[in-house]
Amino acid sequence: MSEREEAMKNHPAGKGRVDVEEPVDETNEPEWVMDARDRCDACGSQAYYLVKMIEGELMFCRHHFLKNEDKLTKVSYEIIDESIKLEPQKAEAHA
């Protein structure tokens, strides 16, 4: 092999260089408004519902939200429901 051929072989342009895009590893973690420190305004359990009203905000556990749901939906302009955090995986973790 001649010196020139050797040089061509090792030239980066000759290798059909392709920029492979790394798949972006996006962990699609939902952003929760409430966490374990947020407590129900009625009983102090962990809150899963945030009720936004003109006068302010109230947080409720599932039990107290459901108990007052009719009233709360009337007085609120937005209700954030994070009760999904209570669903399957959580239940299994306690089993």
Applying CB under 5 A, the residues found at the interface with Zn ion are: 40, 42-43, 45, 61, 64
The token pair that represents 33 in the structure block: 């408004």
The three-state secondary structure class of 85 is: helix
If the CB atoms of residues 33 and 43 are measured against Zn ion, the closer one turns out to be: 43
- Residue 83 CB, shortest distance to Zn ion, in Å, is 12
If the CB atoms of residues 12 and 44 are measured against Zn ion, the closer one turns out to be: 44
- Contact between residue 83 and residue 62 where contact means Cβ atoms under 8 Å apart: yes
- Residue 27 CB, shortest distance to Zn ion, in Å, is 31
